[in-house]
Amino acid sequence: MPEQRIAYHIKTDQPLPVEPFPYREPDKSQGVGNPWTVLFALDISWSMEGELLDNAKQAIIKEAQSVLSSSGTKAGVVLFGSDTTKLCSPGSDVEEIVRKIGPVECNGSTNMSGALAHCRDLLESEPDSVDREIVLLTDGMPDSSDETLAEARRVTEAGITLSALAIGGGVDTDFLREMTPNVVVALEARDIYDKLRVLTRKQ
């Protein structure tokens, strides 16, 4: 049965406020050794087509293999173009990630707010004792900046760590840093894996 595609479009009758995203000190109760669930949210908009997407997929595979070698760790993948798709639920089966991410192709725009909402929904089902993280891989601006900032706030308020890997030289890193202070830049496609490793190494 094909994966269900979900359009997470956040609607409101009132304009959403645009203001700097507040820096929050890490939760000291969450530390090394806790169970950990990470979701890789991969941008598959048309601007990622070619070398960027190929390298991003390989980086996710390699990093999933690495993090899943630790006991108590789960990883999953959410795709976002115009809509969002749960490619892999959080789990410990790296072969599922390898098998499913290989055929992924670019499609649509950049529904970043929907991706964050979809990831939050998946991670909120995890026990409170689990450290939860969303790692966003993107090369561009979202379809709606206001909705994305609002959803980033909901992610943080839910106790979920948000990190972002900015891919290429055209990303507005200032905007990403309004969402989260955890931003790393990979200027070249060949740098994606090394930079992704920086984000997913727990302090």
pLDDT the model gives residue 201: 66
pLDDT for residue 30 is more than 60: no
Q: Which CATH number fits domain 34-199: 3.40.50.1820, 3.40.228.10, 3.40.50.410, 3.30.420.40?
A: 3.40.50.410
> Contact 133/67 with Cβ under 8 angstroms?
no
DSSP string, the chain: -PPPEE------SSPPP--PPPP----TTS-TTS-EEEEEEEE-SGGGTTHHHHHHHHHHHHHHHHHTTSTTEEEEEEEESSSEEEEEEEES-HHHHHHHHTT----S---HHHHHHHHHHHHTTS-TTSEEEEEEEESS--S-HHHHHHHHHHHHHTT-EEEEEEESTT--HHHHHHH-S-EEEE-SGGGHHHHHHHHTS--
pLDDT for residue 53 is more than 70: yes
What pTM, to 2 d.p., does this model score?
A: 0.82
pLDDT band at residue 70 using 50, 70 and 90 as cut-offs: confident
pLDDT the model gives residue 34: 82
pLDDT for residue 32 is more than 70: no
